[in-house]
Amino acid sequence: MTGAIVTMENVTKLYEQGKIEVRAVDNLTLTIQKGDFAALCGPSGSGKTTVLNLMGGLDLPTEGTIHIEQQNLSELSRSQISNMRRDRIGFVFQSYNLIPVMTAYENAEFVLKLQGVPEKQCHERVMNILAEVGLQGLEHRRPDELSGGQQQRVAIARAIVTRPAIVLADEPTANVDSVTADALLDLMQELNRVERTTFLFSTHDQRVMDRARRLIRLRDGRLEQDEVRA
Protein backbone atom coordinates (compact mmCIF):
# COMPACT_ATOMS: atom_id res chain seq x y z
CA MET A 1 0.00 0.00 0.00
CA THR A 2 2.95 2.31 -0.58
CA GLY A 3 1.68 5.77 -1.50
CA ALA A 4 -1.89 4.98 -0.48
CA ILE A 5 -3.44 7.64 1.73
CA VAL A 6 -6.87 6.07 2.10
CA THR A 7 -7.85 2.51 1.34
CA MET A 8 -11.42 1.26 1.43
CA GLU A 9 -11.90 -2.48 1.16
CA ASN A 10 -15.31 -3.99 0.53
CA VAL A 11 -16.97 -1.15 2.38
CA THR A 12 -20.71 -1.19 2.79
CA LYS A 13 -22.72 1.46 4.63
CA LEU A 14 -26.33 0.89 5.49
CA TYR A 15 -28.67 3.56 6.84
CA GLU A 16 -32.07 3.11 8.28
CA GLN A 17 -34.69 5.55 7.10
CA GLY A 18 -37.73 4.69 9.13
CA LYS A 19 -38.33 1.03 8.43
CA ILE A 20 -36.43 1.08 5.16
CA GLU A 21 -32.79 0.11 4.97
CA VAL A 22 -30.79 2.23 2.55
CA ARG A 23 -27.54 0.91 1.11
CA ALA A 24 -25.62 4.18 0.69
CA VAL A 25 -22.32 2.45 -0.15
CA ASP A 26 -22.28 -1.05 -1.49
CA ASN A 27 -19.17 -3.21 -1.28
CA LEU A 28 -16.86 -0.44 -2.41
CA THR A 29 -13.13 -0.95 -2.77
CA LEU A 30 -11.15 2.19 -3.51
CA THR A 31 -7.67 3.56 -2.88
CA ILE A 32 -6.68 7.23 -2.89
CA GLN A 33 -3.00 7.68 -3.66
CA LYS A 34 -0.73 10.42 -2.39
CA GLY A 35 -0.84 13.41 -4.71
CA ASP A 36 -4.21 12.50 -6.23
CA PHE A 37 -6.40 15.32 -7.46
CA ALA A 38 -9.52 13.23 -7.74
CA ALA A 39 -13.21 13.87 -8.18
CA LEU A 40 -15.99 11.64 -6.89
CA CYS A 41 -18.96 12.14 -9.13
CA GLY A 42 -22.31 10.61 -9.75
CA PRO A 43 -25.96 11.45 -9.46
CA SER A 44 -27.58 12.55 -6.20
CA GLY A 45 -27.88 9.63 -3.82
CA SER A 46 -24.99 7.75 -5.42
CA GLY A 47 -23.06 7.80 -2.12
CA LYS A 48 -20.47 10.54 -2.74
CA THR A 49 -20.88 12.36 0.57
CA THR A 50 -21.13 9.07 2.47
CA VAL A 51 -17.79 7.98 0.96
CA LEU A 52 -16.19 11.27 2.04
CA ASN A 53 -17.65 10.92 5.53
CA LEU A 54 -16.36 7.36 5.80
CA MET A 55 -12.90 8.32 4.54
CA GLY A 56 -12.77 11.17 7.04
CA GLY A 57 -13.80 8.97 9.96
CA LEU A 58 -16.96 11.00 10.48
CA ASP A 59 -18.93 7.81 10.04
CA LEU A 60 -18.06 4.15 10.39
CA PRO A 61 -18.76 1.46 7.80
CA THR A 62 -21.34 -1.23 8.40
CA GLU A 63 -19.00 -3.72 6.73
CA GLY A 64 -15.50 -3.63 5.34
CA THR A 65 -12.38 -1.78 6.45
CA ILE A 66 -10.98 1.67 5.93
CA HIS A 67 -7.31 2.45 6.41
CA ILE A 68 -5.97 5.95 6.60
CA GLU A 69 -2.22 5.89 6.19
CA GLN A 70 -2.33 2.20 7.09
CA GLN A 71 -4.31 2.72 10.31
CA ASN A 72 -7.53 0.78 10.52
CA LEU A 73 -10.24 3.27 11.52
CA SER A 74 -12.44 0.69 13.20
CA GLU A 75 -9.63 -0.07 15.66
CA LEU A 76 -9.38 3.53 16.84
CA SER A 77 -11.31 5.17 19.66
CA ARG A 78 -13.46 8.27 19.09
CA SER A 79 -10.71 10.49 20.44
CA GLN A 80 -8.06 8.80 18.31
CA ILE A 81 -10.21 9.30 15.23
CA SER A 82 -10.65 12.97 16.21
CA ASN A 83 -6.89 13.31 16.51
CA MET A 84 -6.42 11.57 13.18
CA ARG A 85 -8.78 14.08 11.54
CA ARG A 86 -7.05 16.94 13.29
CA ASP A 87 -3.57 15.93 12.16
CA ARG A 88 -4.01 14.14 8.83
CA ILE A 89 -7.26 15.18 7.18
CA GLY A 90 -8.55 18.54 5.98
CA PHE A 91 -12.24 19.14 5.31
CA VAL A 92 -13.82 21.66 2.98
CA PHE A 93 -17.61 21.82 3.04
CA GLN A 94 -20.13 23.00 0.51
CA SER A 95 -21.48 25.74 2.76
CA TYR A 96 -18.06 26.82 4.13
CA ASN A 97 -19.00 26.01 7.71
CA LEU A 98 -16.79 28.55 9.36
CA ILE A 99 -17.23 29.29 13.04
CA PRO A 100 -19.22 32.53 13.08
CA VAL A 101 -17.74 34.06 16.26
CA MET A 102 -14.19 33.69 14.97
CA THR A 103 -12.32 35.92 12.54
CA ALA A 104 -10.79 34.56 9.33
CA TYR A 105 -7.49 34.36 11.17
CA GLU A 106 -8.98 32.49 14.14
CA ASN A 107 -10.87 30.06 11.90
CA ALA A 108 -7.66 29.21 10.07
CA GLU A 109 -5.79 29.02 13.36
CA PHE A 110 -8.41 26.79 15.02
CA VAL A 111 -6.95 23.40 14.08
CA LEU A 112 -3.40 24.49 14.86
CA LYS A 113 -4.58 25.47 18.33
CA LEU A 114 -6.19 22.07 18.73
CA GLN A 115 -2.83 20.57 17.79
CA GLY A 116 -1.13 22.70 20.41
CA VAL A 117 1.20 24.47 17.98
CA PRO A 118 3.12 27.25 19.77
CA GLU A 119 1.74 30.77 19.34
CA LYS A 120 4.60 32.20 17.28
CA GLN A 121 4.71 29.28 14.87
CA CYS A 122 0.93 29.35 14.67
CA HIS A 123 0.89 33.01 13.71
CA GLU A 124 3.50 32.54 11.03
CA ARG A 125 1.72 29.59 9.46
CA VAL A 126 -1.72 31.23 9.53
CA MET A 127 -0.45 34.47 8.00
CA ASN A 128 1.34 32.50 5.28
CA ILE A 129 -1.66 30.34 4.48
CA LEU A 130 -4.04 33.31 4.38
CA ALA A 131 -1.66 35.06 2.01
CA GLU A 132 -1.47 31.88 -0.05
CA VAL A 133 -5.28 31.76 -0.45
CA GLY A 134 -5.41 35.48 -1.21
CA LEU A 135 -6.89 36.77 2.02
CA GLN A 136 -4.15 39.10 3.11
CA GLY A 137 -5.64 42.11 4.90
CA LEU A 138 -8.91 40.29 5.69
CA GLU A 139 -7.58 38.34 8.68
CA HIS A 140 -9.69 40.17 11.22
CA ARG A 141 -13.00 39.91 9.44
CA ARG A 142 -15.64 37.56 10.72
CA PRO A 143 -17.43 35.20 8.29
CA ASP A 144 -20.44 37.50 7.95
CA GLU A 145 -18.10 40.24 6.74
CA LEU A 146 -16.70 38.08 3.93
CA SER A 147 -18.14 37.10 0.54
CA GLY A 148 -18.99 33.47 -0.22
CA GLY A 149 -15.76 33.03 -2.17
CA GLN A 150 -13.70 34.58 0.59
CA GLN A 151 -15.37 32.33 3.15
CA GLN A 152 -14.56 29.27 1.07
CA ARG A 153 -10.96 30.45 0.85
CA VAL A 154 -10.87 30.63 4.65
CA ALA A 155 -12.30 27.10 4.73
CA ILE A 156 -9.55 25.94 2.38
CA ALA A 157 -6.95 27.74 4.50
CA ARG A 158 -8.30 25.94 7.57
CA ALA A 159 -8.18 22.62 5.74
CA ILE A 160 -4.60 22.92 4.53
CA VAL A 161 -2.92 24.91 7.29
CA THR A 162 -1.89 21.72 9.09
CA ARG A 163 -0.44 20.24 5.88
CA PRO A 164 -2.79 17.24 6.01
CA ALA A 165 -2.28 14.01 4.13
CA ILE A 166 -5.57 14.50 2.32
CA VAL A 167 -8.18 17.21 1.83
CA LEU A 168 -11.74 15.95 1.49
CA ALA A 169 -13.89 18.57 -0.20
CA ASP A 170 -17.64 18.15 -0.39
CA GLU A 171 -19.00 20.18 -3.33
CA PRO A 172 -16.56 23.04 -2.69
CA THR A 173 -17.72 25.09 -5.66
CA ALA A 174 -21.45 24.58 -5.27
CA ASN A 175 -22.18 27.86 -3.49
CA VAL A 176 -19.86 30.23 -5.33
CA ASP A 177 -20.05 31.99 -8.67
CA SER A 178 -18.12 30.65 -11.63
CA VAL A 179 -15.27 33.18 -11.39
CA THR A 180 -14.76 32.36 -7.73
CA ALA A 181 -15.09 28.65 -8.42
CA ASP A 182 -12.31 28.87 -11.04
CA ALA A 183 -10.14 30.85 -8.65
CA LEU A 184 -10.68 28.28 -5.88
CA LEU A 185 -9.88 25.41 -8.21
CA ASP A 186 -6.74 27.24 -9.38
CA LEU A 187 -5.74 27.56 -5.77
CA MET A 188 -6.31 23.89 -4.97
CA GLN A 189 -4.58 22.76 -8.12
CA GLU A 190 -1.62 24.92 -7.23
CA LEU A 191 -1.47 23.43 -3.73
CA ASN A 192 -1.68 19.96 -5.22
CA ARG A 193 1.12 20.73 -7.69
CA VAL A 194 3.45 22.59 -5.36
CA GLU A 195 2.75 20.98 -1.99
CA ARG A 196 1.66 17.55 -3.30
CA THR A 197 -1.47 17.90 -1.15
CA THR A 198 -3.94 15.14 -1.99
CA PHE A 199 -7.47 16.33 -2.85
CA LEU A 200 -10.64 14.30 -3.16
CA PHE A 201 -13.75 16.21 -4.22
CA SER A 202 -17.31 15.09 -4.29
CA THR A 203 -18.91 17.13 -7.04
CA HIS A 204 -21.53 17.68 -9.64
CA ASP A 205 -19.58 20.57 -11.11
CA GLN A 206 -18.25 19.90 -14.59
CA ARG A 207 -15.39 22.36 -14.05
CA VAL A 208 -14.12 20.31 -11.16
CA MET A 209 -14.47 17.09 -13.14
CA ASP A 210 -12.62 18.66 -16.05
CA ARG A 211 -9.69 19.60 -13.88
CA ALA A 212 -9.51 16.37 -11.89
CA ARG A 213 -6.71 14.02 -12.86
CA ARG A 214 -8.73 11.08 -11.62
CA LEU A 215 -12.45 10.64 -12.01
CA ILE A 216 -14.24 8.19 -9.74
CA ARG A 217 -17.84 7.67 -10.74
CA LEU A 218 -20.33 6.14 -8.33
CA ARG A 219 -23.81 4.82 -8.91
CA ASP A 220 -26.06 3.42 -6.21
CA GLY A 221 -23.14 3.25 -3.84
CA ARG A 222 -21.03 1.17 -6.19
CA LEU A 223 -17.95 2.03 -8.18
CA GLU A 224 -19.00 2.56 -11.76
CA GLN A 225 -15.83 4.01 -13.20
CA ASP A 226 -12.33 4.89 -11.94
CA GLU A 227 -10.48 6.78 -14.65
CA VAL A 228 -6.99 8.17 -14.27
CA ARG A 229 -6.22 10.92 -16.77
CA ALA A 230 -2.89 11.96 -18.10
Minimum distance between the CB of residue 143 and other proteins, rounded to whole angstroms? 11
Residues that bind other proteins (CB under 8 A): 53, 56, 58-59, 78-79, 82-83, 85-87, 90-91, 93, 97, 99-102, 106, 109-111, 113-115, 158-159
Given the complex with other proteins, which of 14 and 110 has the nearer CB atom? 110
Extract long-range pairs of 60-65: CB within 8 Å, 24+ residues apart.
61/8, 61/11, 61/12, 61/13, 61/25, 62/12, 62/13, 62/14, 63/10, 63/11, 63/12, 63/27, 64/8, 64/9, 64/10, 64/11, 64/12, 64/27, 64/28, 65/8, 65/9, 65/10, 65/11
Pick 81 or 211: Cβ nearer other proteins: 81
Q: How far is the CB of 191 from other proteins (least distance, A)?
A: 17
CB of 101 to other proteins, least distance (A): 4
Our CB check for other proteins shows the closer of 102 and 174 to be 102
CB closer to other proteins out of 82 and 225: 82
